[in-house]
Amino acid sequence: GIQVEQSPPDLILQEGANSTLRCNFSDSVNNLQWFHQNPWGQLINLFYIPSGTKQNGRLSATTVATERYSLLYISSSQTTDSGVYFCAVVRRGFTGANNLFFGTGTRLTVIP
């Protein structure tokens, strides 16, 4: 199966700092999603990005499909950004289902 690797596994930031999270994948994919899992366990959709760059407020994501990686940028971090960030690649089967293959996540802690 496809391998998805995220780095770094853990990250501690001072409030206001910027960070870049990386996701590498081992094979071609149909799409890619970034999620934030908050401390209560809820998975929040951040980006659905097969290629190129998207921005949403202080967050932006870039996927370079030809080189099999994606980056998530967090600027001016806030304590509410704490949690685990997951990258998941989409492999679309013959049924059309968007099956996701997840990395093991980056645990971000933002300290005031």
Partner 1 sequence: DAGITQSPRHKVTETGTPVTLRCHQTENHRYMYWYRQDPGHGLRLIHYSYGVKDTDKGEVSDGYSVSRSKTEDFLLTLESATSSQTSVYFCAISAVGTEAFFGQGTRLTVV
Which residues would be at the binding site for partner 1 (CB under 8 A)?
1, 4, 31, 33, 35, 41-43, 45, 48, 86, 88, 93, 95-105
Q: Which is nearer to partner 1, 42 or 76 (CB)?
A: 42
Q: In this structure, what DSSP letter does residue 103 have?
A: -
Rounded to a whole number of angstroms, the minimum distance from the CB of residue 71 to partner 1 is 18
Give the separation between CA 4 and CA 26, rounded to whole angstroms. 7
Distances in Å between the Cα of 27 and the Cα atoms of 1, 3, 44, 67 are 9, 8, 25, 10
Rounded to a whole number of angstroms, the minimum distance from the CB of residue 88 to partner 1 is 7
Q: Which is nearer to partner 1, 7 or 76 (CB)?
A: 7
Q: Are 24 and 4 in contact, with CB atoms under 8 Å apart? A: yes
Rounded to a whole number of angstroms, the minimum distance from the CB of residue 97 to partner 1 is 5
